[in-house]
C-alpha cells in the first residue's frame, strides 16, 4: 500500500511527467490557453494513460517477452496499441456519453501523438512494474499531467492582462512560466525516498 | 533544382521546427543538458525524418487517405527501431544518456507534421530535400540550446573546459527548469532578431 502511494505521489509531484520528465510538452504548451479545455484534455489523457498502462503491461510481459520480441517489436506494437486504444476510447465515449464526447471532441485523437502515453508504456517496461503498480503509475502520471495543465492554464488566463515585453509575447513567455513552475516542483524532490 | 534548394533552406531558418514552428518540444527540452547530446539527438531524428519522408513520398499514391495516419506511424516506428538498435549497438554511452527519448522519436511531431503536410504530397526528391533541411534545422537548434545549458551549467562546451575553474556553475541550467528558461529566452532573442512574433504554439 505504502509503495503504491509512493508511485502515485512520485509521478504526480516529484517526477511530474510534464515538468520534470518532459513528456507531453505539446498539449502542455499548445492547449493550455483556457482552463476548461486544459482540464478536459487532462482528464481524457488520464483515462487513456490508465488504459494504456493495463494494455501495455499485458503486451510487454505476456506477449513480447515470452516470445523474445521485445527488442524488435516493442516500439511498433506499443504505438499501434495506443493508436487503436485511443480510437476505442473515442467510440466508447461517443456511445455512452455524447456530451463528454462533444466537450473533448478534437482533443481525443490527438492523444495518440502525446509522448506521455508512449513514454508511460516504455517506462512500465523498463521499471518492470506489476499490474497494480502499472495502473497506479498510469493514474499518477495522468493526475500529474492534469495538474500541470490546470496550473499552466490558470496562469495563462491571468497573463492575458499582463504587460509582457514585445519580444517575449506568445510562446516565449509560456516557456519561461513553465520554467518557474518546474522550479516550484523541484521543491518536491526528496519527498519520496527513492 | 531551384525548388530543391528552396525546400532545403526552408527548414534551416524560415520554418525552423524548433524556433519558428515550436514543435518537437519533448526531446528539445529533455536531452539538451550538453551540446553533444543535442547533436546525437538531432542526427537520430534527421535519419528517421529522411527515410520516413522518402518512403511516405514513394508510397503516396498507394496509401488510402483514410488509413494514412496509422500507415505513417508504422513507417516512422520502423525507422525508429532501426535507430534504436543501431545506437544501442554502436554508441552505448550516448544511448544510455538519451535513453527513453530515442524510442520517443516516433511521437515527435516534426516527423508526423512533415509526413502529413509535405512528404505525402510531393516527389521523393523534394521530400528528401525538405527532410534534410528540417533535420539540420532541428539539429542546430537543439545543439545551440544544449551549448547554452552546458556552458552555464557546467562551464564546458562539447566536453572541453571553456570557463575558468573559479566560475560559478549554475546547476539550475542542467535541471528541468533550465531547459524551459533557456528555450524561452532563446525564443525571445530570435524574436528580437527577426522582429516578428512567432505564431502561438500549436503542435498537431
> Which tens digit of pLDDT belongs to each residue from B149-158?
999 998 899 9
Q: Do the chains contact at B184 and A22, CB–CB below 8 Å?
A: no
In the numeric block, which cell numbers belong to residue B166?
A: 573559479
- Going by pLDDT thresholds of 50, 70 and 90, the confidence category of residue B198 is very low
Q: Residue A32: which of B31, B138, B25, B69 has the closest Cα? A: B25
User: Residue B110 domain-assigned?
Assistant: yes
* Nearest CB partner across the interface for B100, out of A29, A122, A180: A122
Domain boundaries, chain A: 2-186
Give residue B204's pLDDT: 41
Give the closest-approach CA distance of B162 to chain A in angstroms.
26
User: Residue B183 domain-assigned?
Assistant: no
Q: Residue B88: which of A93, A74, A60, A108 has the closest Cα? A: A74
User: Residue B200 domain-assigned?
Assistant: no
Q: What is the mean pLDDT of residues A16-34?
A: 89
Q: Model confidence over A37-51: pLDDT tens digits?
A: 888 889 889 989 999
Give residue A179's pLDDT: 95
Q: Do the chains contact at A75 and B81, CB–CB below 8 Å?
A: yes
Mean of all residue pLDDT scores within chain B:
90
* Nearest CB partner across the interface for B177, out of A21, A117, A183: A183
User: Residue B164 domain-assigned?
Assistant: no
User: Residue B42 domain-assigned?
Assistant: yes
Give the closest-approach CA distance of A124 to chain B in angstroms.
11
Give the closest-approach CA distance of A77 to chain B in angstroms.
9
User: Residue B197 domain-assigned?
Assistant: no
Alpha helices in A59-130 (DSSP H): 70-96, 98-104, 107-110, 115-127
CA distance B156 to A41: 40
Q: What is the mean pLDDT of residues B111-126?
A: 92
The total number of structural domains in chain B stands at: 1
In the numeric block, which cell numbers belong to residue A47?
A: 483515462
| 181-200 in chain B: CB under 8 A from chain A | 181, 183-185, 187-189, 191-192, 197-200
Q: Per mean pLDDT, which range of A17-21, A41-45, A103-107, B18-22 is the poorest?
A: A103-107
- Going by pLDDT thresholds of 50, 70 and 90, the confidence category of residue B179 is very high
Q: For helices A171-186 and B176-194, give the axis angle rounded to 10 degrees.
A: 160
- Going by pLDDT thresholds of 50, 70 and 90, the confidence category of residue A12 is very high
* Nearest CB partner across the interface for B106, out of A75, A172, A178: A75
Q: Do the chains contact at A174 and B84, CB–CB below 8 Å?
A: no
Place of cell 500500500: A1
Q: Model confidence over A154-166: pLDDT tens digits?
A: 999 999 888 988 8
Range of the domain at B36: 2-144
Q: Residue B108: which of B59, B194, B41, B195 has the closest Cα? A: B41
Per-residue pLDDT at B196 exceeds 60 = no
Q: Model confidence over A71-117: pLDDT tens digits?
A: 889 999 999 999 888 888 888 888 988 887 887 766 777 788 888 99
Per-residue pLDDT at B163 exceeds 60 = yes
Which residues, at least 6 apart from A116, have a Cβ–Cβ distance to it below 8 Å? Answer: A17, A18, A23, A24, A45, A49, A141, A145
User: Residue B75 domain-assigned?
Assistant: yes
Q: Answer for the pair A151, A144: CB distance below 8 angstroms, yes or no.
A: no
Q: Per mean pLDDT, which range of A108-112, A145-149, B126-130, B157-161 is the poorest?
A: A108-112
Amino acid at each position: 500500500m505504502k509503495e503504491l502511494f509512493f508511485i502515485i505521489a512520485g509521478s504526480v509531484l516529484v517526477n511530474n511527467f510534464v515538468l520534470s520528465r518532459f513528456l507531453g510538452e505539446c498539449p502542455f504548451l499548445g492547449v493550455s490557453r483556457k482552463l476548461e479545455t486544459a482540464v478536459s484534455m487532462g482528464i481524457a489523457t488520464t483515462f487513456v494513460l490508465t488504459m494504456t498502462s493495463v494494455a501495455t503491461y499485458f503486451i510487454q510481459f505476456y506477449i513480447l517477452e515470452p516470445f523474445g520480441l521485445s527488442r524488435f517489436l516493442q516500439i511498433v506494437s506499443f504505438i499501434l496499441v495506443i493508436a487503436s486504444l485511443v480510437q476505442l476510447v473515442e467510440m466508447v465515449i461517443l456511445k455512452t456519453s455524447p456530451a463528454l464526447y462533444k466537450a473533448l471532441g478534437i482533443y481525443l485523437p490527438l492523444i495518440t501523438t502525446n509522448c506521455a502515453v508512449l513514454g508511460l508504456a516504455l517506462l512500465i517496461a523498463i521499471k518492470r512494474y506489476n499490474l497494480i503498480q502499472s495502473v497506479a503509475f498510469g493514474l499518477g502520471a495522468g493526475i500529474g499531467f492534469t495538474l500541470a495543465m490546470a496550473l499552466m492554464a490558470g496562469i495563462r488566463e491571468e497573463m492575458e492582462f499582463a504587460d509582457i515585453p514585445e519580444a517575449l509575447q506568445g510562446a516565449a513567455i509560456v516557456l519561461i512560466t513553465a520554467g518557474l513552475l518546474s522550479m516550484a516542483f523541484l521543491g518536491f524532490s526528496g519527498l519520496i525516498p527513492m | 533544382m531551384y525548388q530543391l534548394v528552396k525546400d532545403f533552406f526552408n527548414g534551416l531558418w524560415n520554418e525552423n521546427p524548433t524556433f519558428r514552428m515550436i514543435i518537437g518540444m519533448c526531446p528539445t527540452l529533455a536531452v539538451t543538458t550538453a551540446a553533444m547530446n543535442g547533436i546525437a539527438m538531432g542526427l537520430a531524428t534527421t535519419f528517421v525524418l529522411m527515410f520516413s519522408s522518402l518512403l511516405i513520398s514513394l508510397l503516396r499514391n498507394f496509401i488510402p487517405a483514410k488509413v494514412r495516419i496509422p500507415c505513417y506511424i508504422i513507417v516512422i516506428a520502423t525507422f525508429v527501431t532501426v535507430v534504436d538498435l543501431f545506437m544501442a549497438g554502436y554508441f552505448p554511452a550516448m544511448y544510455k544518456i538519451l535513453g527513453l527519448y530515442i524510442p520517443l522519436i516516433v511521437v515527435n511531431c516534426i516527423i508526423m507534421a512533415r509526413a502529413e503536410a509535405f512528404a505525402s504530397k510531393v516527389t521523393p526528391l523534394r521530400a528528401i530535400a525538405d527532410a534534410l533541411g528540417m533535420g539540420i534545422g532541428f539539429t542546430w537548434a537543439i545543439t545551440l540550446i544544449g551549448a547554452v545549458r552546458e556552458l552555464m551549467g557546467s562551464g564546458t562546451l562539447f566536453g572541453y573546459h571553456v570557463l575558468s575553474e573559479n566560475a560559478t556553475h549554475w546547476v539550475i541550467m542542467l535541471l528541468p527548469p533550465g531547459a524551459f528558461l533557456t528555450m524561452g529566452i532563446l525564443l525571445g532573442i530570435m524574436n528580437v532578431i527577426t522582429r516578428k512574433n512567432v505564431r502561438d504554439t500549436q503542435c498537431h
